[in-house]
Each structure stands twice: as C-alpha cells, then as structure tokens.
Amino acid sequence: RDTLHKATAWMPQLLPQELTAAHFAGFGLAGLLCGTLAGAKLSDWTFENFGWKARMAAYERFVDAPRALAPKEWRELKLAKKVQVSPDSYKLTFAFPDENAVSGLETASCVVVRAAVGGGKPIVRPYTPVSLHTSHGGLELLVKRYDGGKVSKHLCDMAVGDSVEFKGPINKLKYKAGDAQRITMVAGGTGITPMWQMLLHMALNPLDKTKVNLVFCNVTKDDILMRKELEDLKARRPHMILDIHYVLDKPPPGWTGGKGYLTKEELAGKLPAPEEGNMVLVCGPDAMVAAVAGPKAKDKSQGEVG
C-alpha cells in the first residue's frame, strides 16, 4: 500500500518537459496525464482507466532509472542542443550517456558545473536546471552571458558536441506540498531558474494548493527570461499563480510594470502578512538579494525581507 501511495504522489512529476494545452486539460490528475508518459500515448485516456499497473510502471521506471549525476563525483556530459532565447542567453541541453538515466535531482536543488576556461585552472559555478528532474536522457540549463562571468561565457560559447563536467545534486531547499499556504517569489535575472523549478513541480501536483506571487526583476524587457513559459503556466494554473509583477531598470516607452530598482514600498505591496503559512523566496544577483533580504550573518543565515 505504501508503494502505491508513493506511485500516486510521484505521478505529477513523470510528465513531458514541453507543457502543452493537453497537459492541463480537464481537472486534476486526469488532465495532467494527457500527453506522453513513459513512452505511452495517453491523449485518449482518463484518470478512471489509467490503472494501477500503468501508474506503478511509470513510478518504477523513474525509481529504477540509473542516476546520471553524483554529489561527490564529477561526470562529463556533452552538449546535445543549444537554443538562443534572448540576445545574451541560451537554453543548453546536456545529454546523459545513458538515455534511460535521470539526473537524480530533487525540487529546489542545483548542480555545479566545472569548466577549464582558457586552459587555466577549472572554475566551478552552480546552476539550477529548468527541466523536470524526472526527465530521462538529459537536463536543460538556462545560461545568461554575464560580463566577467567566465563560466557563463564558456557555456554560451560551447558548440554541440562539446563537454563540461557536472556534479550534484546540491540541495538548497527541501520543499513538499503543504509547506506553505502562500509563497512570494522575488527573482532577478537567472534567479528565475530555481523559482521555475518549484513552480513546475507545484503545477504538476494536483495535491499542492499553495498560492504564489512572483516579482521578477530585470534590466530590460529583452532580459525577461522564460516569460512565455511563465505566462502560459499562469494562464493554465490561475488558482496557483495569483500574480506576476515584472520590474525593469530600463523600461521601454509605455511599460506598465514596475520601473527602476525594486523599492521597499513596491515590494511591501506584493508581500503577504508576516504570519505562519507564508513564505518568501529570494534569488538573484548578490546586490539584489542583499537589498531585499539584508546581508547574511556569519552563520550564512539570511536577514529579514525588506
């Protein structure tokens, strides 16, 4: 019985990476099962005729899949696909040697990438995959080329077939449905990647009733990464994502969102009351995190928001 319960709990995560209308048709788990799951075409299925055997098979396929990454061992992965998503950002797909393998990551965890830049000493940087951690065969990174960012430049300059080393998972925040009633996410730049990882996990779990507000800060309109994906997810899960507030340092004419640096007053208008059941997550450039959440203490604990 415990195994069957686990299979049911994992079902929302065993879904395709591409979110289409079919995945969100209908209600609850029945709608989430539209699409391709574990290699079976389920577009004509409903929850009632999706039996325990099929559910168990999908669950066991994930559980039994080899893990492509290890937290204490560097493993080389090849770049299989490269897509430019903004003037200075790319979505990079790295293939696992075993197409049946999964990353082994959990929600709100990251990987670290090691690259020998310019023939010098290898440099290590953390990245949060934007693909489902239950996806077989590879993982996706969203990488923005930053001035002075040696690893980000190296990754953005990679050609298909080139390799870098990965290690992980590195768990940052243990999250499960019910941990909070309402979450306010404050993201800057590529700080959207861990937020997206959590949003996707929550959206694909019909048992998760958490409400989310997102404040997303960027320099220009072109810098807003994953905007289409975020808006699509909000449209399909309006009961979950209550609001997305974009803030731009350099807004274009006619911009109706936030303008300039995120202020305490502007943020206060988006934050829930400081009471039990409410959570605030902040991720972005160090200066933004310090401005929003204050400097970290000696024990690395974060200051109060605001």
- Each residue's pLDDT, cut to its tens digit, for the chain (306 residues) gives 444 444 444 444 444 444 443 333 333 333 333 333 333 333 333 334 445 566 566 667 777 889 999 999 999 999 999 999 999 999 999 999 999 999 988 888 899 999 988 777 899 999 999 998 888 999 999 999 988 899 999 999 999 999 999 999 988 888 888 888 999 999 999 999 999 999 988 888 888 999 999 999 999 999 999 999 999 999 999 999 999 999 999 999 999 999 998 888 888 888 877 778 888 999 998 888 888 887 766 666 655 554
pLDDT at site 290: 82
pLDDT at site 234: 95
Residue 152 counted as an annotated binding residue: yes
Residue 125 counted as an annotated binding residue: yes
Residue 193 counted as an annotated binding residue: yes
pLDDT at site 27: 30
Do 75-171 and 182-293 have matching folds? Answer: no
pLDDT at site 227: 96
Q: Name the strand (E) or helix (H) holding 110.
A: strand 109-115
Residue 122 counted as an annotated binding residue: no
Question: Distance between CA atoms of 288 and 187, rounded to whole angstroms?
Answer: 9
Question: Distance between CA atoms of 18 and 263, rounded to whole angstroms?
Answer: 35
Residue 126 counted as an annotated binding residue: yes
**Residue ranges of domains in the chain:** 2-64, 75-171, 182-293
Question: Distance between CA atoms of 17 and 78, rounded to whole angstroms?
Answer: 19
Question: Distance between CA atoms of 213 and 205, rounded to whole angstroms?
Answer: 18
Residue 127 counted as an annotated binding residue: yes
Residue 151 counted as an annotated binding residue: yes
Distances from the Cα of 106 to the Cα of 46, 139, 168, 238, angstroms: 28, 13, 10, 25
As beta bridge partners, residue 113 has: 125, 166
Residue 204 counted as an annotated binding residue: no
Residue 253 counted as an annotated binding residue: no
How far is C-alpha 172 from the geometric centre of its chain's CA atoms?
Answer: 12
Question: Distance between CA atoms of 72 and 99, rounded to whole angstroms?
Answer: 22
Confidence (pTM)? 0.78
Q: Which of 8, 100, 17 is nearest to 61 (CA)?
A: 100
pLDDT at site 289: 86
58-82 b/e with 16+ CB inside 10 Å = b?
bbebbeebebbbeeeeeeebbbeeb
Q: What share of the chain is helix, strand, coil (3-state, %, to 5)?
A: 30, 30, 45
Architecture in CATH of 75-171:
Beta Barrel (2.40)
The reply to whether CATH 3.40.50.80 applies to domain 182-293 is yes
pLDDT at site 89: 96
